[in-house]
Amino acid sequence: MNYIITTSTDATSNELISWLYYYKVPYTRINTDRIETLYALSDIKIGTGIHSDIGVVYLRKLAMPETGLPASNAGQKIWQSLMGEYYQAYLKPIISQAAFSINNYSTATQNNKYETLLAAKSFGLTIPETIITNTKKILLDFLADRNFPSVITKPADELCSFNSGEHFYKTFAKKMSTDDVTALPDRFFPSLFQQAISNVTDIKAVYCFGRFFTAACLQMSDKKTDFRSNYAHVKTLPYKLPDEIENKLDRLLKHIGLSICTVDFILSDDGTLYFLEINPFGQFGSISMSCNYFIERFIAEKFAYYAN
């Protein structure tokens, strides 16, 4: 059997499944945000033989299922710990014993932004100057030494979101001026900071089995530091990365061990492409649709090839 490990709300998985129907590829969808995933995973045979009965496995999304039961903070921590062990016990063997796996568990779930930046630089890609600190003085020195008027701060790990009452909150990248930094306390939570690049547009590349499907994300209203906070006013157009950048990026992604992911760049005012980050679980449905790339069809064809 072939498996798509995802979430119940992932639109890209829905589109991919439509193409799997078209190509008559059998599959099982495992929604990791649903408690039923516990039973679905338990029904999968994981043996010591080569591949067992597992065909193609695509680790598309990973989430923590809700129990629907009230619990104390301690209870929630225990639940998260148990689910982490459960995923380690089932997801990793499913992926490692697949006849063909799309991304691997460790690479996809342990993507470190700072280490990725260092790796990108070692492969010849241009990156923004970056530091991680929890001290205002160090951050002010970083601005002064490089004559930066502002910096960008963003999560060092993946984006997170949560509800509080009737409000929904989500993390984004944010620009901070010298005055903003000066207003910070002397010590704060360890955070990632990058030089603020004056950019023409954001570039998002979808890497898929050695091919790039790239788009320019043009903001049609007041420009935001993070275009994801202003999707309604973003125009997505096809874009071609220079061959030299594609070749370097291809070597980097093969070195990391990713078959499918999204890669973020910024195109600066002087024409420089700055590599920002890699997201193994990145959304690419809007790029696929707006640019007529049919990325989900391309993935389904890989399923069909390796499933037969």
Could you tell me the domains of the chain?
A: 3-109+302-307 (no CATH), 129-195 (no CATH), 199-279 (3.30.470.20)
- Among all chains, which residue has been given the structure tokens 């779930």? 109
Lowest mean pLDDT among 72-86, 170-184, 224-238: 224-238
For 83-116, how does the pLDDT look when each residue is reduced to its tens digit (9 = 90+)? 777 777 777 888 888 888 898 888 888 778 889 9
User: Does residue 221 have a pLDDT over 70?
Assistant: no
In this structure, are strands 174-177 and 3-6 parallel, antiparallel, or unpaired?
unpaired
- What lies within 8 Å, CB to CB, of 180 at 6+ separation is 150
CA dist., res. 29 & res. 255, Å (int): 29
For 140-165, how does the pLDDT look when each residue is reduced to its tens digit (9 = 90+)? 999 999 998 899 988 776 666 666 66
Residue 62 three-state SS: coil
Taking residues 175-201, what's their average pLDDT?
Answer: 90
Run of H or E residues at 18? helix 11-22
Q: Of 202, 204, 214, 210, nearest to 293 (Cα)?
A: 214
Run of H or E residues at 295? helix 295-307
